[in-house]
C-alpha cells in the first residue's frame, strides 16, 4: 500500500534539508578554517582585513556573508508557498468538543 504524502510535508522536508545542508557546510568550513588559520600561528604573520584578523575575516565573516546570500536566494527564489487548505475561521471544534480558542 503506497501512502501519498502531503505536498506541504514534502516541501517542508525539502526546505529543511536545504537549510540543514547550508548550516552544516558553513559550520564545518568555519571550524576547520578558524582552527587551521587561527591556532599555532606566529602573531607577527597575522594580517588585518577591514579591522579583523585574517583568520576571523575568512573563517567567520566570509561564511556569514555567503550564508546571508544563500538564505536570500533560497527564500526568494526556491522556497514556495503551499496551499494549506480551506480556512475554517473561528467556527471550529477541537477533538474534545470545545469551540474555538475562546472556549
Model confidence, pTM: 0.72
The continuous run of DSSP H or E covering 62 comes out as helix 62-73
- Tens digit of pLDDT per residue, the chain (103 long)? 578 888 888 889 999 999 999 999 999 999 999 999 999 999 999 999 999 999 999 999 999 999 999 999 999 988 887 777 777 666 666 656 666 555 4
* Cα–Cα nearest to 64, from 22, 36, 32: 22
Amino acid at each position: 500500500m503506497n501512502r501519498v504524502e502531503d505536498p506541504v510535508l514534502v516541501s517542508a522536508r525539502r526546505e529543511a534539508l536545504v537549510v540543514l545542508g547550508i548550516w552544516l557546510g558553513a559550520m564545518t568550513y568555519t571550524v576547520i578554517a578558524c582552527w587551521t588559520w587561527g591556532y599555532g600561528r606566529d602573531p607577527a604573520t597575522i594580517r588585518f582585513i577591514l579591522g579583523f584578523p585574517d583568520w576571523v575575516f575568512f573563517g567567520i565573516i566570509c561564511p556569514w556573508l555567503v550564508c546571508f546570500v544563500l538564505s536570500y536566494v533560497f527564500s526568494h527564489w526556491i522556497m514556495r508557498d503551499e496551499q494549506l487548505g480551506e480556512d475554517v475561521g473561528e467556527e471550529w471544534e477541537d477533538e474534545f468538543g470545545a469551540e474555538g480558542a475562546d472556549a
